[in-house]
Structure 1
């Protein structure tokens, strides 16, 4: 489970561009799971300068990714992609462990993790 999250080439290109624009080159991409949202869990992504002691670190398409060990099972098999359309672009997250998602698509729950639902 050393590479619990897959970053597609399109997502990696967008992440690298964001790193360049925000002066974050050399940073790591943290992918996380937090409590909240309509279904109980939400995703988080952001740049961090270094890994923490309880992180799993790996590379995907030239991006150094860190995931907390406790989040790795929930994120195992997750694919992060970037899609462009006439309305703009955005990241998509496909998690095979999610058994229910919110209508807005920003929260989820798994068979073993329900999180802490909030009102949408």
Structure 2
């Protein structure tokens, strides 16, 4: 298995491929502790679709796959597959709460436009993959 692992041991905030906010880490640690999966982490990935072309996905995962980037930030293991990494590089996973509830979100510096619901995005010059993404936010 060839995976790249990065761990924050300096106590500082080094430049990293992907990170998680303090509040996001608190929420993720609670969810991971209740998942029943040993050594689980948060898998962050990109799939085609959504109203802006790409859509974020997240899952609790206890598998480390070949080619995964594995980052441990604020005590949370983040896993990103090699196909998603270029679109997620420099992103921060966060947890937001509002009147409609709460959920995880991705603050992505690579996104040049995003859907109003915040779960899909497009990068500079990219077309919607496979002709998808022409619908509204409710099409996810």
Which bin holds the TM-score, normalised by the shorter protein?
A: 0.7 to 0.9
CA displacement at 1:86 relative to structure 2: 4.8
Instruction: Specify the alignment match of 1:82 in structure 2.
Output: 95
Q: Equivalences for 1:1-120 in 2 at 5 Å?
A: 3-111=16-124, 113-116=126-129, 117-118=132-133, 119=135, 120=139
Alignment check: 8 A CA contact 1:76 1:97 kept: yes
Instruction: Specify the alignment match of 2:11 in structure 1.
Output: none
Moved more, 47-56 or 79-88: 79-88
1:78-112 CA-to-partner distances (Å, cap 9, x unmatched) read: 11111334543222321010011112222101125
- Structure 1 residue runs of 5 or longer lacking an equivalent are none
TM-score (structure 1 length as normaliser): 0.86
Moved more, 18-27 or 48-57: 18-27
Choose 1 or 2 for highest CA Rg: 2
CA displacement at 1:69 relative to structure 2: 1.8
- Structure 2 residue runs of 5 or longer lacking an equivalent are 1-5, 7-15
Q: Aligned residue pairs: how many?
A: 119
Alignment check: 8 A CA contact 1:28 1:51 kept: no
Q: Which has the higher strand share?
A: 1
1:2-52 CA-to-partner distances (Å, cap 9, x unmatched) read: 632110111011011111223235212111011010111001111111211
CA displacement at 1:113 relative to structure 2: 4.2
Alignment check: 8 A CA contact 2:17 2:89 kept: yes
What RMSD over aligned residues (CA atoms) do the two structures have, in Å? 1.9
